[in-house]
Structure 1
Amino acid sequence: MAADPLYGWDLTFKTVERDIRRKSDVLIAFIHWNLSKRGFRTIGIGDELTLTGDEEKSEVLPTGWNDKDNYTLRYVLEGKLYILHGLNTDGTLIVNLMRSDDLAVSNMAVKIEDAVKETSGSINKLMPTHTELMHNVKRDLIDTITEKPTSSAETQTLGRSDSNSRRPPDDPLRVPPRPHPSGPHPDTRDLWELPPANLPNIGRSDLDPFAPGGGGMLFNPFGPRRDPENPGLGIPGGLPRGAVPPGARFDPFGPPMGPPIPGRRPPPDADHLPPPGGFNDNMFM
């Protein structure tokens, strides 16, 4: 037959039933019973963090455990001191369990009126939801501060650390591998190499101090790549083909064009202002 999960509660409650003054007292007695089931022994009240070694351990709540509005009880488990604090605030009992040697803390909060319906009677009458409360006390208050990692968990952690150790460490100063262009017909095998001779070398002299002269960011209209058959309009060397849509009004800019090319009509330029002085403006008659 399975063990009764409520074994020992009736005896614990009978020892403190005459001391019960409010519903939060029932909660503290219930938490104390859960602690006692798991090996905790009370050694009195207060928040003293040292042990003398001659404290008397007991399964019974000490005298004066509920004399104040808040609760402070001292427990011992496996030679370590634990302090149980219970704080009444706005209808909620906030409970925390602190281990004194490293100040580790577990905590939980319980709505008093929802958890405790009566201050006397059987457990079902006192706390109809005692099964859920027992689970929360074990999970949030006791196991959080007393459980040790299992061997399987340690093995999994060790395995993860071993797999991580096999990976080379990330070095922020390590030079990344040179990127290679993608696509079926890359222009060059390595982006760090100079482009082939059939590509214009525009912009190289602005970036490479050892580059030969010319080839800056601005296209040189007087360079060997100039198209004398299509000078275009505007600055010497002209604009590229298609820069001015057909039929669009365009005001040329820059210095005047050079001498006209034999056999070609010069571009129209009749919308500029006449020069000052005695200029014959019969063209407007």
Structure 2
Amino acid sequence: MSADPLFGWDLTFKTVERDIKRSSDVLVAFIHWNLTKRGFRTIGIGDERTLTGDEDKSEVLPTGWNDNDNYTLRYVLDGKLYILHGLITNGNLIVNLMRSEDLAVSNLAVNIEDTVKAMSGSIDKMIPNHKELMFNIKRDLIGSITDRPTATVETQTSRNENNRRPPDDPLRVPPRPGLRPESPTRPDLWHMPEVNPYNVGRSDLDPFAAGPGVGGGGGMLFNPFGPRRDPENPGLGIPGGLPRGAVPPGARFDPFGPPGAPPIRGRRPPPDADHFPPPGNFNDHMFM
């Protein structure tokens, strides 16, 4: 193998010399030569992302590679498809190299006027700073994407790392006491029980009590026949002989009645404002 870093450039340029129309063509031809030096082979133009495996691979730029305003070339390396896009904007050539397998992209920006000084002649005449450009192409456009593992390899690596048990660390916080959460029959008592999110607030829609599986919350109204009813007085008490229905179920009501009415069995008699006279010399004969 030749030690000359520019070996093969003259032959590559001779194959496209008649096709050169503008300074950006010289840059694309130089980038193409750097790609072929590192194993890339072109399979045509366009941005088609499918690869059948029957494509003809070549070191020569395909016919029509510079017919459009921008550049789109397809390459193959190690059985993987790469697409090179070249866009001219504001006097710069913006080059993107995308790996179709995982959409990994590398970038390179080159000022055309400052880089290309002639469209024919030796490489020193056409691209005086070709050594710096070669370094940037190798580092930013080729190396940054070929040295990067594919997404499938990264996913597998991260999966293997997650499956590893952490090493014993004396500073690591010990696991919380409780049952092992791995077993469905032995849940972790430190965690809150799972609640169906669709049942949140359902008890407020049930006037008397929560529905099944909600958690035993109360409703908005008191159910006189529910578990909180008074077993000795299921009708909530009918104070003073009032007709049934005079006191709404669950309403706060101070029972009253005529003097001497027997209290309800099992309860203390309710307070009565008429038990004692007002203070002072007040006498309205109410207690005669």
TM-score normalized with structure 2 length: 0.53
What is the aligned-residue identity percentage? 74
Pick closer, same or farther for the CA change 1:2–1:64 going to 2, 3 Å. closer
User: Residues 165 and 70 (structure 1 numbering): CA distance in 2 closer, same or farther, change over 3 Å?
Assistant: farther
Per the alignment, do residues 54 and 124 of structure 1 end up closer, same or farther by CA in structure 2, a change over 3 Å counting?
same
Sort the Cα spacing of 1:117 and 1:170 in 2 relative to 1 into closer, same or farther, 3 A: farther
State the alpha-carbon separation in 2 of the partners of residues 166 and 5 from structure 1.
52
- Please give the per-residue CA displacement for 1:180-223, whole angstroms capped at 9, x wherever unaligned: xxxxxxxxxxxxxxxxxxxxxxxxxxxxxxxxxxxxxxxxxxxx
Take 2:15 and 2:148, find their aligned partners in 1: how far apart are those partners? 33
1:70 matched residue in structure 2: 70
Superposed, 1:134-149 pairs within 5 Å as 134-147=134-147
Query: 2-side partners of 1:13 and 1:170: how far apart?
Result: 66
- Residues 227-284 of structure 1 show CA distances to partners (whole Å, capped at 9, x for unaligned) of xxxxxxxxxxxxxxxxxxxxxxxxxxxxxxxxxxxxxxxxxxxxxxxxxxxxxxxxxx
**Residue 91 of structure 2 corresponds to which residue in structure 1?**
91
Instruction: Please name the residue that 1:114 is paired with.
Output: 114
Give the superposition deviation at 1:15: 0.4
* Partner-residue secondary structure (3-state), 2:145: helix
Other-structure match for 1:27: 27
Paired amino acid for 2:69: D
> SS in structure 2 opposite 1:58?
coil
CA separation of 1:56 and 1:124: change in aligned 2, threshold 3 A: same
In structure 2, the CA distance between the partners of 1:53 and 1:125, relative to structure 1 (3 Å rule), is same
Size of the aligned set, in residue pairs, is 166
- The offset of 1:170, in angstroms, is 5.9
Cα distance, 1:52 vs. partner?
1.4
Equivalent AA in structure 1 for residue 43 of structure 2: I
Unaligned runs of 5+ in 2: 150-159, 177-288
Give 3-state SS (helix, strand or coil) of 1:16's partner: helix
Instruction: Determine the structure 1 residue equivalent to 2:105.
Output: 105
- Residue 132 (str. 1) matches residue 113 (str. 2): no
Question: 1:166 Cα shift?
Answer: 4.6
| Cα deviation digits, residues 37-90 of structure 1 (max 9, x gap) | 000000000000001111000000000000011000000000000000000001
Give, in whole Å, the separation in 2 of the partners of 1:4 and 1:147: 24
Q: Distance in 1 between matches of 2:172 and 2:129?
A: 53
Q: Secondary structure at the match of 1:82?
A: strand
- How far, CA to CA, are the matches of 2:74 and 2:168 in structure 1? 48
Match of 2:58 in 1: 58
* Equivalent residue runs for 1:1-285 within 5 Å: 3-147=3-147, 165-167=167-169, 168-169=171-172
Q: 1:83, 1:111 → 2: CA distance?
A: 21
Measured in 1, the distance between the counterparts of 2:4 and 2:168 equals: 51
Q: 1:27 to 1:170 in 2, by over 3 A?
A: farther
Question: What is the CA RMSD across the aligned residues, in angstroms?
Answer: 2.9
Aligned-partner SS, 1:35: helix
Q: Which amino acid aligns with 1:107?
A: N
> d(CA) in 2 for partners of 1:3 and 1:62?
28
Name the residue aligned to 1:267.
none
> Using the alignment, how far apart are the partners of 2:2 and 2:133 within structure 1?
20
Post-superposition shift, 1:2?
A: 6.7
Residue type at the aligned position of 2:61: L
Q: Secondary structure at the match of 2:120?
A: coil
> How far apart, CA to CA, are the structure 2 residues paired with 1:2 and 1:103?
34
What's the offset of the Cα at 1:148? Answer: 5.3
SS at match of 1:7: coil
Q: TM-score, structure 1 length as denominator?
A: 0.54
> 1:145 and 1:49 mapped to 2: Cα distance?
17
Matched with 2:247 is none
